[in-house]
Amino acid sequence: MNATAQYIQPATNLNTVNPLEFPTELRPKIAIKVSNLKRSKIFYHALFNRRATIDKDKTAHFRPYNPSVDLILQEDATAQARDGHFGIQLKSTQDIERYKKRITEAGFSVITEEAETACCYSVSNKAWVNDPDGNQWEVFVVTGENSSDVRCGDSCACEAGGCD
Amino acid sequence: MSIWANAKQTKSIDDSVVNFPTKTRLHIAVNVKNCADLINFYNTLFGCSYHTKREGYVKYDLSEPPLNISLNQVPKNAKSNGVFGIQAKKIKHLEKMEKRLSDAGLRYKAKYIGKELCEININDPEGNIWQLSIFEH
């Protein structure tokens, strides 16, 4: 991982949009601890294609529209990757490529790619990436819902860290 | 032949079998010890029933907030990952959530500014923290 990777310039300047706006009445929030805020900001900027909306000494808020979320990063020495994971659900498999490109250009790697893989009782196309603390994110498109009897397949990364 | 025939196709072809109103949607997978024990809590929190329930797996498909959240049963060492929350633009939506929690007899802590409800803190039965709040810049 290249910790000195620069921020990538977003394609459009979404930061000029009023940060009070989000498209729905309700928006999900996630707050996680990170060990190195600077590195995490590079990762999440690449993931969301958007800079932090609030950027303080020990805290940063990312408020992208895609997906709509208030992601709060708090720098804390006790940060550790827990189990469970996060994700961004897309509608087109082609769009997964854009995420992969941004992540790799920012100096991070795509951990696993899954094509038409049975997991969570569905069939999906996925790319898995880890933030600098090991929090897992999947960028995915569901191509077959409830079409599988597999909860977590052999090639499925969704429970990594969670089993035994 | 159209002058656009050789133009680069920029529109992506949607191959998702799941449709939802927003362009993209956040996904949270919470590893939990026991899905069945959590269904009442999450049905109440989200104000709707789950979308999918299978062995060791429960999923909610929400449009408000736009969220695909699943409970994945991992009995031995399920640990919550961070703090989760829902931000509302309007007090009436926060009050609606509070009414659901209160009607279901769930214990929560409410914070007020003056007489106006501004935040609700509640833990799911396994201790995962949820913060429901009015969105402030």
Q: Confirm if B64 and B50 have CB atoms less than 8 A apart.
A: no
pLDDT at A121: 72
Q: For residue range B81-94, list pLDDT tens digits in order.
A: 679 999 999 999 99
Tell me how many degrees the CA angle A109-A115-A119 measures, rounded to the nearest 5. 100
Six token digits for residue B125: 């039965």
Contacts of A23 in chain B (CB under 8 A): 22
Q: Which residue has the tokens 């999900």?
A: A28
Mean pLDDT of B113-126: 95
For A95-127, letters b (16+ CB in 10 Å) and e give: bbeebbebbeebbbebebebeebbbbbbbbbbb
What predicted TM-score, i.e. pTM, was given to this entire model?
A: 0.85
Q: Across the A/B interface, how many CB contacts are shorter than 8 Å?
A: 181
Q: How far is A4 from chain B (nearest CA, A)?
A: 26
Nearest to B132 by CA among B100, B88, B101: B88
Q: CB distance B81–A135 less than 8 Å?
A: yes
Task: Identify the band that residue A112 occupies on the pLDDT scale cut at 50, 70 and 90.
Answer: confident
Q: For residue range B51-72, list pLDDT tens digits in order.
A: 999 989 999 999 999 999 999 9
From CA A158, how far away is CA A160, in angstroms rounded? 6
Contacts of B82 in chain A (CB under 8 A): 30-33, 82
